[in-house]
Amino acid sequence: MTHESVVPPRRVWTREETLALFALPFNDLLHQAHEVHRRHWDVNAIQLSTLVSVKTGGCGEDCKYCGQSGHYDTSVEATRLMDPDTVREAARKAKAAGASRLCMGAAWREMRDRDLARVADMITAVKAEGLESCVTLGLLTAAQAAVLKEAGLDYYNHNIDTSEEYYDQVISTRTFKERLDTLHNVREAGLKVCSGGIIGMGEGRADRAAMLTTLASLQPPPESVPINRLVPIPGTPLATVEQIEPLELVRTIAVARLLMPKARVRLSAGRTSLNDEAQALCFFAGANSIFYGDRLLTADNPVEEADRMLFAKLGLRPDEIQPVQ
């Protein structure tokens, strides 16, 4: 028995249509997702990003998944904002290891004008090393986004995390609308958008469908879509939540690929708990980007050698590093 494609011939998706994709038989969903992936991308090339925490801990947000929140008793120690020279050295190491993008994360609720010049210097330093640049700095005003664009920033990351309906079960210190407003400011400044979410926080499949529908409905959709599997952090309210099964992660990536064919779909946090077979399914389903290096802000990540061995097994290769613009 064959199953006809349920991918509608348009770019506007409803939640019901997205949920119908999640409900497809696994093989049918992967087949459709891989066909779309192959149509738009080199399926054997993976973009490598390295993530650096330029300001760790002490965040005023109460995100229930985050070890950097000042609301919870975790082992994360707060640090000051990193200096640009240190960031430049991190960029050099990342490029030497094969990464093509350096992502810089700061643990605070919002970008503050007093830190804007230093962050701009970090971006300039990263670009000088021949890497793409990305920052995640919390809420961002239109004026701040314009300054970051002028400094040479390529991507701004601001995840919506989950569905609008489930959002207040995870965060109370910033609204879902504030996240969308920041993404609007980023886009208006001419920056590329990196935005995704986290699965396995106790939400249902309908919430995952709603999250992806929201992202796909942005005009235009994000160029980069990180899909994170919750990493339970001791001391946070979600520390003991039951982990979502890997096949649901694969389904989520496949649906993201169908909804956003031209986006980089990044297999992000949670890879340390996946075996090679599960990661291979994620790549087949449409993931074509990973975080590369042994740390994700405060969470562990597979070491570079493990990723190189996995790539060799699967016949994958890193995307070429882009030249300095």
| Residue 17 forms part of a structural domain | no
| Residue 6 forms part of a structural domain | no
Residue 29 pLDDT grade (very low, low, confident, very high; cuts 50, 70, 90): very high
| Residue 79 forms part of a structural domain | yes
Q: Is the pLDDT of residue 230 over 80?
A: yes
Indicate if 66 belongs to the active site. yes
Alpha-carbon distances, residue 115 vs 56, 80, 119, 245, 284 (angstroms)? 14, 11, 6, 40, 41
Residue 145 pLDDT grade (very low, low, confident, very high; cuts 50, 70, 90): very high
pLDDT for the residue 293: 63
Indicate if 134 belongs to the active site. yes
| Residue 22 forms part of a structural domain | no
Given 66, 174, 179, 251, the catalytic residue = 66
| Residue 264 forms part of a structural domain | yes
Angle formed by the axes of helices 246-259 and 15-22, to 10°? 140
Of the candidate ranges 43-47, 73-77, 112-116, the one whose mean pLDDT is the lowest? 73-77
Q: Is the pLDDT of residue 3 over 60?
A: no
Alpha-carbon distances, residue 212 vs 15, 235, 253 (angstroms)? 9, 29, 10
| Residue 320 forms part of a structural domain | no
Given 179, 257, 266, 271, the catalytic residue = 266
Which of 162, 130, 158 lies closest to 144, judged by CA? 158
Indicate if 266 belongs to the active site. yes
Higher-pLDDT residue of 56 and 320 is: 56
Phi-psi region of 42 (alpha: psi -120 to 50; beta: other; left: phi over 0): beta
Phi-psi region of 98 (alpha: psi -120 to 50; beta: other; left: phi over 0): left
**How does pLDDT run across 254-285, given as a tens digit for each residue?**
999 999 999 999 998 888 889 999 999 999 99
Indicate if 282 belongs to the active site. no
Indicate if 194 belongs to the active site. yes
Rounded CA-CA distance 216/315 in Å is: 30
In sequence order, what are the residues at sequence separation of 6 or more whose Cβ sits closer than 8 angstroms to the Cβ of residue 51?
103, 104, 105, 291, 293, 295, 296, 297, 301
DSSP string over 56-120: -S-BS---TT-TTBTTS--SPPP-PPPPHHHHHHHHHHHHHHT-SEEEEEE-SSB--HHHHHHHH
Mean pLDDT value of segment 296-300: 49
| Residue 322 forms part of a structural domain | no
Q: Is the pLDDT of residue 298 over 70?
A: no
Query: From the CB of residue 316, how many other CB atoms can be counted at a distance below 10 Å?
Result: 18
Which of 280, 271, 266 lies closest to 299, judged by CA? 271
Q: Is the pLDDT of residue 70 over 60?
A: yes
Given 174, 194, 229, 282, the catalytic residue = 194
| Domain total of the chain | 1
Return the sign of the alpha-carbon dihedral for residues 310, 40, 195, 142.
positive
| Residue 21 forms part of a structural domain | no
**Residue 224, domain extent:** 27-312
Provide the total of helices (H) and of strands (E) in the chain, helices listed first: 10, 12
Given 101, 134, 174, 251, the catalytic residue = 134
Domain at 243, CATH number:
3.20.20.70
Residue 303 pLDDT grade (very low, low, confident, very high; cuts 50, 70, 90): low
**How does pLDDT run across 152-202, given as a tens digit for each residue?**
999 999 999 999 999 999 999 989 999 999 999 999 999 999 999 999 999
Mean pLDDT value of segment 24-50: 95
